[in-house]
Structure 1
Amino acid sequence: MGGYDARTEELAAGARAEMVRKISTEGAFTADPRWREPFARVPRHLFVPYYFVATPRGYERRWGESPDPRARERWVCGAYADEPLATRLRDGELLSSSSQPSLMARMLAALRVEDGDRVLEVGAGTGYNAALLAERLGDDDLVTSVELEPEIAESARAHLAAAGYRPVVVTGDGARGVPGRAPFDRIIATCALPTVPRAWLAQCRPGARVLLPLATGVLALTVRDAEHAEGRFLTTAAYFVPLRGQGRAEPADVCFAGLPRRAREQDTFRFLLALGRGALDPREAYALWGREEEPERERYGVTLAGDRGWAWLDDPEGLYAWPLP
């Protein structure tokens, strides 16, 4: 494991320990302390041999093979910063990134993985999240990761192999899941989705847990069977690169006309607008948000039942509910 010079590996080890300490201090491992060890063991820098940093002049590329020792030091320290890292760009558009480690820790802890669980990851990215899962479960074959872009999937495989992990990385449309590797006990998506793909439910065992970024939040569903699932959002905000492929999210314009300036600046109000996209008028949403004392994300949830799917506030059968896309 490794491949860089001794000085770089020494810096990486120290930076990784500091990253884990900070994540732990923030309470990200509280829901499942068993995740601390995978974060301490998996070398994130092997999964981001280069990444891009935004500057006033555009993106600056940092890479581990730079001939400048100071540039290599900046690269390795940045690899362990608790920040998302842009890893793939196309014509200035972000295609793929390595998520913020503390958010990854919170999501993995909320996934409630148990020994022996079969896990599907949607959005392979750099391969880092799949490596954490493989390290936690101790069996590469229990982890399947699906990625639409062949180049990104191949890169993830190479990063995983370099770090000593060999989970199954499939090239395909994540919205369709990976039926050939089902059934799954857990599904986690590392890309934003416009709705919950029904194909996933059919590939889950009863009682499976599904975590996905939706409407700038993270939804945690419990699957009853192929047609029924229900759950609430986590407390944390989450902003991910959108899923590409059949289930990709299309941008939606929101009209703030007639709403106070404060409305467009409030994160929880914008979350409500995103969750009710196409079904909730912005003025109605603002009135609801005010009446309910500006509810946080954890008061919202989603229910899937047969052909129906709806989001709700406080109660699946309560006063406030609207259809999902």
Structure 2
Amino acid sequence: MGAHELDRDGQDEGRGLDGLDDLAASARAELVAEIDASGAWTGDPVWREAFLVVPRHLFVPYYYVGVMDGYERRWSESPDARGRERWLRGVYADTPLATRLHDGELVSSSSQPSLMALMLAELEVADGDRVLEIGTGTGYNAALLAHRLGDDDLVTTVDLEPEITEAARRHLAVAGFRPVVVTGDGAGGVPERAPFDRIIATCTLRSIPPAWLAQCRPGARVLAPLATGLIALTVRDAGQAEGRFLHTPAYFVPLRGGGPEPEPAPLGGVPRPARDHELFRFLLALTRSALAPQEAYALWEREGRPPRDRYGITVSGGREWAWLDEPEGPYAWPLR
């Protein structure tokens, strides 16, 4: 089928498994074993139980896979038993799933489970923490947080699109979770639910929205995708935060509502191997408002092709900048 937005039918996503419950349980256990082997939650193994208990298939009643002439939908209500089994096995594969398309463009997805596990472990959640999630998606991540914290009211999740938040509420209710789901611009946070101890974003940013820091308690942790990486910030107060990138790459749908993406700069003069190197692409994304690609390439080679965890971000005094090695070192670039 061609790419298009699927009309929601309002059916109970918990139905239609037709005896696939055992397969779902075994597939979930296999996924957990795969995440175990990846080491994603080594820093906080309590997340293992959440992934073992929370049923991902209730949050992904359908998804799209790329085929020769567009996209094919796999769904829980397929009239063919083999189609339903293929849908279920795909749900529990350690891969991202395209869940919403509009005019052929991906607008929402369910992230790769092992990356979700890594991000949740790196969020360093403690009992009693109030958590804000930016980018509700299917609701699966919010369910994992609610299970971990044992109190639905500690979890707030926000998304710009009413169709996404409405569907997430249904998925969460079917799975037995009721965190607070808000329809709104994630860049503005959710001030009526503040203050927060943790903020996690599941969409790519260009810079850190000031409203997030203003809604955090001192000492809060913010984890967000930015420039194909994951930045982990410690919040000092409403106007100050600092932290480094994790080593891992991360590719997410951009935060909606932030305006059009800037056009990429010409890469003339940059050798082709560098153009295709994911660490150079990270540096390009991080410095695109401050360095020409040729300048970024010279720096990248001079500094020994630095990994992501040598870079960081500081927010202070109304400024926000990225840096290499040290916040006040020789390499720093404004983000806004």
Question: 2:75 & 2:209 partners in 1: Cα distance?
Answer: 36
| 1:203 equivalent among 212, 215, 219 | 215
Question: 1:298 & 1:307 partners in 2: Cα distance?
Answer: 24
Question: 2:122 & 2:14 partners in 1: Cα distance?
Answer: 30
Give TM-score scaled by structure 1 length. Answer: 0.98
| Aligned amino acid, residue 291 of structure 1 | R
Report what 1:59 is aligned to: 71
| Aligned amino acid, residue 170 of structure 1 | V
Asked if the contact 1:120–1:144 (Cα under 8 Å) also holds between the matched residues in 2, the reply is: yes
| 1:294 equivalent among 277, 301, 305 | 305
Asked if the contact 2:242–2:312 (Cα under 8 Å) also holds between the matched residues in 1, the reply is: yes
Asked if the contact 1:268–1:294 (Cα under 8 Å) also holds between the matched residues in 2, the reply is: yes
Asked if the contact 2:204–2:253 (Cα under 8 Å) also holds between the matched residues in 1, the reply is: yes
Report what 2:136 is aligned to: 124
Answer yes or no: is 1:281 the counterpart of 2:292. Answer: yes
| 1:322 equivalent among 309, 316, 333 | 333
Question: 1:260 & 1:89 partners in 2: Cα distance?
Answer: 35
Answer yes or no: is 1:152 the counterpart of 2:164. Answer: yes
Answer yes or no: is 1:217 the counterpart of 2:194. Answer: no
Answer yes or no: is 1:263 the counterpart of 2:254. Answer: no
Report what 1:32 is aligned to: 44
| Aligned amino acid, residue 270 of structure 2 | L
Asked if the contact 1:194–1:249 (Cα under 8 Å) also holds between the matched residues in 2, the reply is: no
Give TM-score scaled by structure 2 length. Answer: 0.95
Of residues 275-284 and 295-304 in structure 1, the stretch that sits farther from structure 2 once superposed is: 275-284
CA RMSD of aligned residues (A): 1.1
Among the aligned pairs, what percent are the same residue? Answer: 71
Name the SS for the 1:311 alignment partner.
strand
Q: Following superposition of structure 1 onto structure 2, how do residues 102-117 of structure 1 map, counting pairs within 5 Å?
A: 102-117=114-129
Report what 1:176 is aligned to: 188
- Which ranges of structure 1 fall in alignment gaps of 5 or more residues? none
Question: 1:5 & 1:33 partners in 2: Cα distance?
Answer: 30
Name the SS for the 2:273 alignment partner.
helix
Deviation at 1:249, TM superposition (A): 5.8
- Which ranges of structure 2 fall in alignment gaps of 5 or more residues? 1-12
Question: 1:98 & 1:251 partners in 2: Cα distance?
Answer: 25
| Aligned amino acid, residue 29 of structure 1 | W
Asked if the contact 1:211–1:218 (Cα under 8 Å) also holds between the matched residues in 2, the reply is: yes
Name the SS for the 1:244 alignment partner.
coil
Deviations 1:185-216 (A, max 9, x none): 00000001111000000000000000010000
Cα gap change, 1:130/1:249 in structure 2, threshold over 3 Å: closer, same or farther?
farther
Question: 1:248 & 1:148 partners in 2: Cα distance?
Answer: 13
| 1:140 equivalent among 152, 169, 178 | 152
Q: Following superposition of structure 1 onto structure 2, how do residues 36-47 of structure 1 map, counting pairs within 5 Å?
A: 36-47=48-59
Cα gap change, 1:5/1:59 in structure 2, threshold over 3 Å: closer, same or farther?
closer
Deviations 1:19-47 (A, max 9, x none): 00000101001011011000000000000
